[in-house]
């Protein structure tokens, strides 16, 4: 139930955002999150945006994982 899905913000009106997950539109309440803009990715949980996805941190984690792949012995 603590499941949250990354969703792309396409519009913001007051404390409500319109977001998309694989081209399907959902509404996300912004009562728990400030400074959300179109283009941001948020984690959507039970109709609420609970946190933003940080693109720089995401790239860093992925790089760590890719390094493991690159250093894999043949």
Q: Which residues bind another protein (CB under 8 A)?
A: 1-6, 8, 21-22, 27, 29, 31-34, 41, 43, 45-48, 50-55, 57-58, 60-62, 64-66, 68-69, 71-73
Residue 10 CB, nearest approach to another protein (Å): 13
Nearer to another protein, 10 or 46 (CB): 46
Task: Tell the burial category of 16 from Cβ atoms under 10 Å away from its Cβ (0-12, 13-18, 19+).
Answer: middle
Distances (CA, A) of 65 to 13, 22, 54, 55: 37, 25, 17, 15
Residue 15 CB, nearest approach to another protein (Å): 9
Nearer to another protein, 11 or 54 (CB): 54
- Cβ proximity of 70 and 54 under 8 Å: no
């Amino acid at each position: 139930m603590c499941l949250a899905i990354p969703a792309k913000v396409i519009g913001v009106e007051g404390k409500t955002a319109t977001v998309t997950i694989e081209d399907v539109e959902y509404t996300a309440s912004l009562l728990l999150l400030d400074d959300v803009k179109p283009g941001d990715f948020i984690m959507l949980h039970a109709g609420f945006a609970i946190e933003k996805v940080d693109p720089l941190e995401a790239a860093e984690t992925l790089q760590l994982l890719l390094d493991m792949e690159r250093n894999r012995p043949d």
